[in-house]
Amino acid sequence: MTDEFEKELEIIRKTRIEEITMAKDSKADWPGEPVSITDKDFQSFVKRYPYAIVDCWAPWCGPCRMLGPVIDDVAKDYTGRIAFGKLNTDDNQATSAMFEVMSIPTLLFFKNGELVDRTVGAMPKQALEIVIKKHL
């Protein structure tokens, strides 16, 4: 009985080590900061991650510059759970038009490659996290 118990414990231990290793490896694939994306790689970005948020912005936009540090901070906090992308709307008008981005900053929330929500305008970290937690 002791040998069977020890064998089972060893199997459980090995299984758990594999789970932890896989979790660490998969988390390493997630960006810890926002990634610049373009019209060309937009679809692959939102489909690659189960949950992605795309910040539609432009360099001349004051509210976009206010939201930028919030996005950077939240991207670090949610590494491994959410991928953040930044889409310059001036340089990537096809994607902006496809999602009818009329005002910036606009955040597009994707789950499994599908648009599930959007917000328009700058917001504090706490407000952004409320929207994020609604979809996680």
- The answer to whether 24 touches 75, Cβ cutoff 8 Å, is no
Catalytic residue among 56, 64, 74, 122: 64
Q: Quick one: 23 exposed, middle or buried, by C-beta within 10 A (0-12, 13-18, 19+)?
A: exposed
Over 70: is that where the pLDDT of 48 sits?
yes
Whether 56 sits among the annotated catalytic residues: the reply is no
Multiple choice CATH, 31-135, 3.10.270.10, 3.30.470.10, 3.40.30.10, 1.10.357.10 = 3.40.30.10
Which has more confidence, 9 or 119? 119
Q: Where are the domains of the chain?
A: 1-30, 31-135
Which of 37, 61, 128, 132 is labelled catalytic? 61
DSSP state of 124: -
Higher pLDDT, 15 or 127: 127
> Could you confirm whether 64 is annotated as catalytic?
yes
pLDDT per residue over 52-104, tens digit each?
A: 999 999 999 999 999 999 999 999 999 999 999 999 999 999 999 999 999 99
